[in-house]
């Protein structure tokens, strides 16, 4: 009977032994790959409140008796 080589022994000489271990992306924040649509009026965006995007004046500005500055055009 011959001798058997151990399983999971030393790495081969041409393997990945020279490369540093990869860093994990776990816990890092990634910027989304899309741009958000700006649907709110200028007044709501300036005040950082949610806008319903109604035309010609949004309901937030109408209810609170504010001057609705309108929407950006693209």
- Residue 69 sits in a domain of what CATH number? 4.10.240.10
Q: Give CA angle at 11 (9, 12), nearest 5°.
A: 120
The pLDDT score that the predictor gives to residue 35 is 63
Q: Give the pLDDT confidence score for residue 74 in this predicted structure.
A: 66
In angstroms, the Cα distances linking 30 to 15, 34, 37, 38 are: 32, 12, 19, 21
Q: Is residue 49 part of a domain?
A: yes
Q: What does the pLDDT read at residue 70?
A: 86
At residue 63, does pLDDT exceed 90?
A: yes
- Structurally, the chain folds into a number of domains equal to 1
4 is a domain residue = no
**Residue at 14 is within a domain:** no
- Domain membership of residue 13 (yes or no) is no
Note the pLDDT of residue 30: 72
Domain enclosing residue 74, as ranges: 40-74
CB contact at 8 A, 53 and 63: no
Question: 16-62 pLDDT, tens per residue?
Answer: 567 777 766 666 677 767 665 667 899 999 999 999 888 889 999 99
């Amino acid at each position: 009977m011959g001798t058997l080589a151990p399983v999971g022994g030393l790495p081969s000489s041409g393997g990945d032994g020279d490369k540093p271990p990869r860093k994990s992306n776990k816990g890092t924040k990634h910027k989304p790959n899309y741009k958000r649509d700006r649907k709110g009026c200028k007044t709501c965006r300036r005040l950082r409140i949610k806008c319903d995007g109604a035309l010609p004046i949004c309901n937030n500005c109408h209810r609170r008796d504010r001057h609705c500055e309108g929407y950006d055009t693209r």
